[in-house]
Amino acid sequence: MATSSSSSKCGVRYIGNCGLKVSNLCLGAMTFGSTEGAMFHLPGQSDEAASHAILDKFVEMGGNFIDTADIYSAGRSESIVGSWLQKQAREQIVIATKVRFPMGAGPNDVGLSRKHILSAVEESLKRLNTSYIDLYQTHAWDDGTPIEETLSTLTDLVRQGKVRYLGLSNVTGWQLQKIIDLTKYKHYEPFVSLQVQYNLMCRETEWELGEVCKREGLGILPWSPLKTGWLTGKVTRSGAPEGSRVEHQGKDDTAKLPFLRDYAKEEQTWQILDVLKAVAEESGKSIPQVALKWLLHQETVSSVVIGAKKMEQLVDNMGAGDDSWKLTADQLKRLGDVSDIMPLYPYSIMDAVQVQRRRNGLLVL
C-alpha cells in the first residue's frame, strides 16, 4: 500500500470566514511531554527532543499550524512548543492554545472566569515564549461563569494584542449559537473556529454544530480525526496494538471518556474499516490518509488536528494534506453511507420535512 513521501506538502486554507491562513493539517501537541501529574494520563508521550524533531518535520512538510492547551501534560506541552518556537520565525507559525481545565488546586484555578482567564493567558504566554497567541480557544463550556464575563474578558485580550483570534471547543449546539448571538448583540470579538471531535465514527457533530458553523462562518477543526487509533487500520477484531491508546483505554476502567473497547461491539465499526481499507487500496493511499482526506472534503472543515508519537506516523498523515489528490465522488458516497447514523428526534423529523425547502444545502424552516 502506498503512503506519502517526505516531499509531500500540505495545502493552506482560511480558518472560517476570517483572514488567517493555516495549513490544512494542524499538529496537535497533546502527545508532547510526560503526563505525570497531569489531568489526562496517556501512554507513549514524546520527550522534548522527539517533539522538536516532529515539529521540524511538520514545518518542513508545509505545516504552519500548531495546537496545544495549558492542561496538556500539566503545561509541559506548551513549554516544549515554546522552546521550539524560540528557534523559528515567529510570524510564520500559527500557535493555538486553550483555557478552561484545572491548572492548580485553588477554587479559581479552573473555569472561564475573568480571574482564571487573565491568569492562565499570562502563564501560557510565558510557557510558549511568545508575546501573543494566534488562536486562543475556550476548551469547554463553563457552567459556573456567566458567558458575558468570559466573552468580555476574551475581547479585552484581543484588543490588548495578547490574542489575535478566538476559538471554541467542546460545546453543544445551543451553547454555540448563544455565544455567537451574544457576541453580535454585545459587540464582543467574534469567534472564528470550533475545535470538536469529528471523524467517520463520530458524525453527530454534523447535526447541529456543523449547521451552526456553516451558517455563521466558523471553521471546524476536527480533533481525534482517527478516533484515537480506530481509523488507522491497526485495530482488528482480535485486538489493538500493545501500547496504543485504544488498548490503553480498553484496560482503564477509570477513564472519563467513553470506553473505546465498546466500539468493537458495533458491527458498523468493522464495516467502516472495511470500506476505508477498500478505498485506500483503490487510491494507493494509506487508511489514515483516506480517513483524514474524507474530513478535508467536508465544507466546514478548515484544518484537521493530527497527532503523532512517531515520525513515520507524522509523515504518513501529512500525505492527506496534499491537495494534488482527492477522493472520488463514489468513494465519498461509500464512506458517507457506511458511516451514516440514524438521527435522533428532532433531527430526523426536521431533515425529512425540509427536503423541498433546502437553499444552498442549508435547512430552511
Confirm whether 72 is a catalytic residue.
yes
Q: Please report where in the chains the cell 472566569 appears, as a residue.
A: 113
Three-class DSSP category at 209: helix
Distance, in Å, from the CA atom of 266 to the CA atom of 333, rounded to the nearest integer, reads 21
Distance, in Å, from the CA atom of 182 to the CA atom of 168, rounded to the nearest integer, reads 14
Angstrom CA distances, 325 to 60, 182, 228, stand at 20, 41, 25
Decide if 241 contacts 247 (C-beta within 8 A): yes
Q: Measuring CA to CA, which residue among 252, 250, 275 is closest to residue 263?
A: 250
Q: Please report where in the chains the cell 499550524 appears, as a residue.
A: 65
Catalytic residue among 72, 136, 198, 263: 72
Close Cβ partners of 202 (under 8 Å, ≥ 6 residues apart): 224, 227
> Which residues make beta-bridge pairs with 99?
138
Three-class DSSP category at 120: helix
**How many alpha carbons lie under 13 Å from residue 78 in its C-beta half-sphere?**
24
Decide if 229 contacts 240 (C-beta within 8 A): yes
Q: Which active-site residues does the annotation give?
A: 72
